[in-house]
Amino acid sequence: MDRVAPVRDLRSLPKAHLHLHFTGSMRPATLLELADRYGVRLPEALSGGQPPQLRATDERGWFRFQRLYDIARSCLRSPDDIRRLVREAAEEDIRDGSRWLEIQVDPTSYAPRLGGLTPALDIILDAVETTSRETGLGMRVVIAASRIRHPLDARTLARLAVRHRDRGIVGFGLSNDERRGFARDFDRAFAIAREGGLLAAPHGGELSGPASVRDCVDDLRAARIGHGVRAVEDPRLLERLARAGVTCEVCPASNVALGVYDTFAEVPLRQLWEAGVPMALGADDPLLFGSRLAAQYEIAREHHGFTDAELAELARQSVRASAAPEEVREKILLDIDAWLAS
């Protein structure tokens, strides 16, 4: 009689989470509570209990996505709000099996309500340090510049990030609409960050095609690419990413919610996997996309046929691409082996 292999719980699979945005990590219930406290009227897309269908591949869709994100961010007004968000993001990640979280934030966005850029960053870093210590989750920060701001602003952020590197900043990113501006405009900011010991993790290859990924590698010397899925449209680029070991932070729920692909089955996880491109699955903005970290692994299992052994390897790839200390990586990798052996 044939024995059916057990289906392991993907929430218990140890993993690293490398693509999670700050405001986008908020619990919907927390947003509702803060909006009520501050008298912020939320649009139905944020208050109706269902994630909005954003279809941001056109300008109108992206404007709607950004507007919703900005409204949610406007509800974070005090140090206590920041501490709560960080604590709850960590709790959600722990439930989903995360052992290491690198949360991405642009402190410029919070500075007006928190006393300025440096005070805002201090509040965020203090919250991350305290939460990591109290929950046991390894937690660090990626500072992200915005493509829609001037490149000089990105240089200011890069210098600030390097100065605070010893307080838990591990990387420097570039977010917002990748169709705006050129990666090369931000090359000096990324050079400052790299020279200061931070890894380069810009967004590319989601709303724009493979050229966006290539520019991030060529102009910003990216070690990781936020998303990167459109690289599959260029076989030579895929070979290059695989050869160089550049990790793509793939966020399937985001890809579908934003209209990059119509279904989860179309997200090119298998193509990236078969090309040997390392991946780190991420939730991106759970507040807007409706699913957290373990759900991305469920998508790989249910829609792409990833076996438990392959899912374990995806988790290993997320750990290897992280900025976790070597002893932390080794412990998580051993725990992944134990999960697979169970």
Mean pLDDT of 137-152: 96
Domain ranges of the chain: 11-341
Instruction: Say whether 206 is catalytic.
Output: yes
Q: 206, 239, 274, 330: which is the annotated catalytic residue?
A: 206
Task: Quote the pLDDT of residue 190.
Answer: 98
pLDDT digits (tens, 9 = 90+) for 165-215: 999 999 999 998 888 778 999 999 999 999 999 999 999 999 899 999 999
pLDDT digits (tens, 9 = 90+) for 269-315: 999 999 999 999 999 999 999 999 999 999 999 999 999 999 999 99
Closest CA to 285 of 317, 250, 253: 253
Task: Quote the pLDDT of residue 65.
Answer: 85
CATH code for the domain defined by 11-341: 3.20.20.140
Task: Quote the pLDDT of residue 2.
Answer: 47
Q: Which of 47-61, 77-91, 224-238 has the lowest mean pLDDT?
A: 47-61
Q: Residue 66 — pLDDT band, cuts 50, 70, 90?
A: confident
Q: For residue 73, is pLDDT > 80?
A: yes
Mean pLDDT of 101-110: 97
